[in-house]
Structure 1
Amino acid sequence: MNLNRFKWWLVAFLALISLLGGGASLSAHAAETTNSNFAATPLLPKNQISEKADYYDLKVQPSGSQTLKLSVTNPSKSARTLKVIPVNATTSDTGKAVFVPSNRTDPSAQVTFTEMTSGAVTVHLAAHQGKTVTFTTKTPASGFTGEVLGGLFVTDPNVNPSSARGNLNLQNRYAEVVAVSLWCQPNQILPINLKLADVTVKKQNGQPQVLAKLRNLTPALFGDLDIHARVLNAKTGKQVLTRSLKNGSMAPNSWFNFGIGLGKKRLAAGQYTLKLHATSGKRVWNFSRSFTLTAKTARTHNAVLHSDKTPNNWWIWLVILAILLILLLIGLAYWLGKRRSRDDDDPDTPESTLTHTDSQTSSTKPSDEAQSHLKS
């Protein structure tokens, strides 16, 4: 094997390593750049508060009627049926404000966007066609305090949402949303009233978790929510579980369950204490609440730990790397052996020349017997 072949071995080796290590990130990038097959654009009215906002940010009047116009277009080559649904802004269990169909509005809300707004609309679009969908929002006679936050959720009912399970980026294929923020007193500043409602232990995604239900009782959206939670054994005071959340947000008058997994260690049944520290900018909240881990839940958790035999696949990568290294060494050894064999068979080496010269010299030098004869 010559030097060029050795270089190709090395290039192939490095390419294979790159493929094995970089495939996941390439797949994730492809999912992030998936585009939807329809578009929704708000047609902003004159009472828009912020001209820079790309959503409805409107000042409304008590007993007033507000028209919301939304342009929906179908750039695809086939006909499409879309459904536009008014939704309330809520907070998901990931600790983020979301605009999706949900019944999770907190009872503390004076009024909601869906209560004020006309119902869902179905629109049929031919290929490359666009239409304007209109909704009417009516403000209560007494108006409202703070912000009413919702959205116009546009979806293709012919696409199964379950196909997006496990990869939120895929939701862009079948749904878009335009936020709607309504104010009677624009940008009214209210103190955030965050409460810890209760602490329970329930199954979440098939596994027992400590669930701390947090409620935003204020008609205002807020962000920069950081949470650090600790679970202590009430008897020993020892910390057994912990979880943190960074840069969360909560919709007005909404709630979510902050879940804390039971971890990878066995837990005993008994009394535990949740210590939860939350901040949002300069706002600080500290909560403490006791709860019980029942014997049944403890057995379930401990049994899952005992039966968890998920294989660790690190050894597969080690075997692959070892095989590639062996192939590389075999190729290198073959190349070195080939080169040495070629050197041994070359007649023009210094050793062959020296042997030939010595032989020539010995054949032309007179023998001792011939020298004696000449002298006599």
Structure 2
Amino acid sequence: MVRLKTNSIVKLFLCIVLCICFLQLPHVNADNISNNAAEFTISPVYPREQKEDDAGYFDLNVKKSTTVPVKVKISNLNKNQDIEYLIKVGNATTNDNGTINYTNFKNKKDTTAKYQLTDFISKTELKQKVTVKAGSSSEVTVNLKVPKQKFPGMIAGGIYVERLTNAYVDEKSGMNTRNHFSMTLPIILTEQAKVKRIAKMELDKVTVKNGPEITAKLHNVKPVMFGKLSIDSKITKKNRSTVLVHKKVNNYQVAPNSSFDYLVSDSSNQLGAGKYTIDMHLQSGKRKWHLVKDFVITSKQGAPLTKRTGWFGVSMLLWIIVVVLILIIAALIVVVVRQRKNLKR
């Protein structure tokens, strides 16, 4: 009888656990799965200027005063619905995390760049829309008009394709939300068979924000793209050798004629007000750069004493309090000793 009761209790407990697990399983809706699928692909249609047929992107060796048709094939995988797409052309920039963005749509040109990709394209072709019928494909053409003047090095950018027909209304919330599906094909242009890959990195400025948060603006001033960049940065007090902040990163990628903000130190390093020096060693393959710059942290920007640490990881404010107390005690001892000597006299 005892065994039967025990088994019954165990079975009842297992049933309760299974019911709870079943109730907690997420409800999957087939319509949501289809809405979350991109349902399209893009592929390059190479012109004769393409260097390699299987590159997977546009790597073009162009000639001056020519027009190069760059075509993108968009395939609509949805067999039941026509879908509209947005096609835009952008320029290559370097992100702050050390990756290349091939579709920057801002018009601001780098001061060191002679040309950028969007200079070769008419305004009507910088932004286009196309509707692809269900289960079929369509080609979109962007014509690159190469100028008469030769350009050095390389120019980089990309074609961005975004699916527009994917909006739906959530009846419960009443909000109109849109899933975002997009793809990009890089475009790289050169006019020489062999590009001189002479790169030059510069340290434009050091920015200090409250905390302090210290950022170095690194600038590639040459029309050359390169990768596997390592950055070894150190911060010291000016004219001192003790390293206060040390940071190292690897495998950064840099776009031609571009700059990016490299975070050298965040607020966790607790640097106070004063004059400092940033020392940076950069290397990409055989290329090496040594960049040094002085900067100042003001009293408002520096970390407060309550957040700064001193010896043995103890708060600087606590150390100051201890030192003050020691000085007060020492002063009291001197006063007491002198009074005793006077009383003896």
Superposition deviation, residue 181 in structure 1: 1.1
Would you say 1:71 and 2:73 are equivalent positions?
yes
SS class of match (1:296)? coil
Cα 1:210–1:265 shift into 2, 3 Å? closer
Q: Which of 248, 253, 256 matches 1:252?
A: 256
Please tell me the residue identity of whatever aligns with 1:58. L
Q: Could you say which residue in structure 2 is the equivalent of 1:50?
A: 52
Maintained 8 Å contact 2:245/2:269: no
Change in CA separation of 1:123 and 1:274 when aligned onto 2, cut-off 3 Å: same
What is the rounded CA distance, in whole Å, between the counterparts of 2:262 and 2:285 in structure 1?
A: 19
Q: Counterpart of 1:156?
A: 163
- Any conservation in 2 of the 1:74–1:80 contact (CA below 8 Å)? yes
Q: Tell me, yes or no, if the aligned pair for 1:264 and 1:305 is still in contact at 8 Å.
A: no
Residues 1:264 and 2:268 are matched in the alignment: yes
More helix per residue: 1
Aligned equivalents of 2:194 and 2:54: distance in 1?
15
1:268-296 CA-to-partner distances (Å, cap 9, x unmatched) read 11111111110000111111111111111
1:88 to 63, 88, 91: 91
Displacement of 1:263: 4.5
2:302 match: secondary structure: helix
4+ runs deviating over 6 angstroms: 301-306
Which residue number in structure 2 is paired with residue 143 of structure 1? Answer: 150
Matches within 5 A, 1:1-80: 36-76=38-78, 77-80=80-83
Cα pair distance change 1:94/1:265, threshold 3 Å: closer
Whether 1:174 aligns to 2:181 is yes
* Unaligned 5+ runs, structure 2: 15-35, 168-178, 310-345
**Correspondence 1:1-376 to 2 at 5 A:** 36-76=38-78, 77-103=80-106, 105-118=109-122, 119-157=126-164, 174-202=181-209, 208-234=212-238, 236-299=240-303
Contact 1:224 1:248 in 2 (8 A): yes
Alpha-carbon spacing, 1:259–1:83, altered in 2? closer, same or farther (3 Å): same
Q: Is the 8 A contact 2:84 2:163 kept in 1?
A: yes
Q: Deviations over 1:106-126 (max 9, x none)?
A: 211111101112321111233
TM-score by length of 1: 0.64
Greater length-normalized contact order (CA 8 Å, ≥ 6 residues apart)? 1
After TM superposition, give the deviation of residue 304 of structure 1 in Å: 7.8
Residues 94 and 102 of structure 1, relative CA distance in 2, 3 Å threshold: farther
Contact 1:56–1:181 (Cα < 8 Å) also in 2: yes
Displacement of 1:47:
2.0
CA distance in 2, matches of 1:210, 1:159: 42
Structure 2 counterpart of 1:328 = none
Question: Which whole-Å CA distance do the structure 1 matches of 2:139 and 2:163 have between them?
Answer: 16
Per-residue deviation, residues 336-363 of structure 1 (Å, max 9, x unmatched):
xxxxxxxxxxxxxxxxxxxxxxxxxxxx
- Does structure 1 retain, via aligned residues, the 8 Å contact 2:64–2:146? yes
Q: Is the 8 A contact 1:241 1:263 kept in 2?
A: no
Contact 1:89 1:151 in 2 (8 A): yes
Query: Does the 8 Å contact 2:102/2:156 carry over to 1?
Result: no
Q: Contact (CA 8 Å) 2:155, 2:223: kept in 1 or not? A: yes
User: Is the 1:63–1:143 contact (alpha carbons within 8 Å) kept by the matching residues of 2?
Assistant: no
Aligned mates of 2:128, 2:144 — CA distance in 1: 14
Give the counterpart letter for 1:193 in structure 2: K
Given the superposition, is the C-alpha separation of residues 157 and 259 from structure 1 closer, same or farther in structure 2, using an over 3 Å criterion?
A: farther
Alpha-carbon distance in 2 for matches of 1:110, 1:65: 19
Letter of the 1:62 partner, please give it.
K
Q: 5+ residue gaps in structure 1?
A: 13-33, 161-171, 307-376
SS for the counterpart of 1:99 is strand
What code does the residue aligned with 1:94 have? N
Counting strand residues as a fraction of each chain, which structure ranks higher? Answer: 2
Q: 1:263 to 1:159 in 2, by over 3 A?
A: farther
Structure 2 CA distance, aligned partners of 1:51 and 1:129? 24
Q: Distance in 2 between matches of 1:101 and 1:71?
A: 21
Kindly indicate whether the alpha-carbon contact (under 8 Å) linking 2:67 and 2:144 is maintained by their aligned counterparts in 1: yes
CA distance in 1, matches of 2:162, 2:243: 45
User: How much has 1:134 moved relative to structure 2?
Assistant: 0.7
TM normalised by structure 2 equals 0.69
Alignment root-mean-square deviation, CA: 3.1
Quote the sequence identity (%): 27
